[in-house]
């Protein structure tokens, strides 16, 4: 009985909210959420559509591409030096490069275009020949993270 009463109250509340937000009964009336323009004095002003035109020039909003990290080459022997490149990080921030360890192996600063490039050594203390490791880049300010597997050869 309590659940039926509670359910009825919720449905009644939702219906009241829907009715309150549905606008006037006049189907020719503009929607209640339509944007309106006013002059600086609070009076209605003519909208020449320039705001919509400017928005169209900008195009649709897009989310930034996810950060990536690339190891070149993507395989190597223990002790080999590999180039690590990244993109999609915050300009000017420090990125720490990890090689499957909790201690970062190298810090580098991101360029103004959101990219970085540095070199690291495949550590023998972590890997053995034939294992798969990981290069991880972490932005120390933004906490943006990207990683890539590498293959440790004989």
Q: How would DSSP label each residue in 90-154? A: PTT-EEEEEESSSS-SEEEEPPTTS-EEEEEE--TTT--TT-EEEEEEEETTT--EEEEEEEEE-
- Which of the four pLDDT bands, split at 50, 70 and 90, describes residue 152? very high
**pLDDT (tens digit per residue) in 81-132:** 999 999 999 999 999 999 877 777 899 999 999 999 999 999 888 888 999 9
Round to whole Å and give the CA distance between 12 and 14: 6
Torsion over CA: 138, 140, 143, 144 (sign): negative
Q: Which DSSP helix (H) or strand (E) runs through 16?
A: helix 2-21
- Which of the four pLDDT bands, split at 50, 70 and 90, describes residue 62? low
Give the DSSP letter string of 40-57: TTS-B----SHHHHHHHH
Q: Which residue has the tokens 């993507």?
A: 74
Mean pLDDT of the residues in the chain: 74
Percentage of the chain modeled with pLDDT above 70: 59
* pTM (2 d.p.): 0.58
Residue 44, pLDDT > 90, answer no
Q: Which CATH number fits domain 68-153: 3.10.450.50, 3.65.10.10, 3.60.15.10, 2.60.40.230?
A: 2.60.40.230
Say which residue, 44 or 17, is predicted with more confidence: 44
Q: What is the mean pLDDT of residues 43-72?
A: 68
Parse the chain into domains and list their residue ranges: 68-153
Of residues 149, 146, 148, the one with CA closest to residue 65: 146
């Amino acid at each position: 009985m309590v659940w039926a009463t509670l359910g009825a109250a919720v449905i009644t509340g939702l219906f009241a909210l829907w009715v309150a937000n549905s606008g006037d009964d006049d189907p020719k009336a503009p929607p209640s959420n339509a944007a309106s323009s006013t002059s600086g004095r609070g009076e209605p002003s003519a909208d020449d559509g320039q705001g919509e035109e400017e928005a169209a020039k900008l195009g649709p909003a897009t989310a930034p591409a996810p950060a990536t990290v690339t190891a070149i080459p993507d395989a190597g022997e223990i002790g080999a030096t590999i180039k690590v490149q990244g993109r999609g990080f915050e300009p000017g921030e420090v990125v720490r490069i990890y090689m499957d360890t909790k201690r970062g192996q190298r810090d580098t600063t991101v360029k103004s275009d959101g990219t970085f490039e540095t070199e690291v050594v495949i550590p023998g203390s972590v890997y053995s020949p034939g294992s798969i490791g990981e290069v991880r880049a972490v932005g120390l300010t933004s906490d943006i993270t990207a990683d890539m597997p590498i293959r440790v050869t004989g």
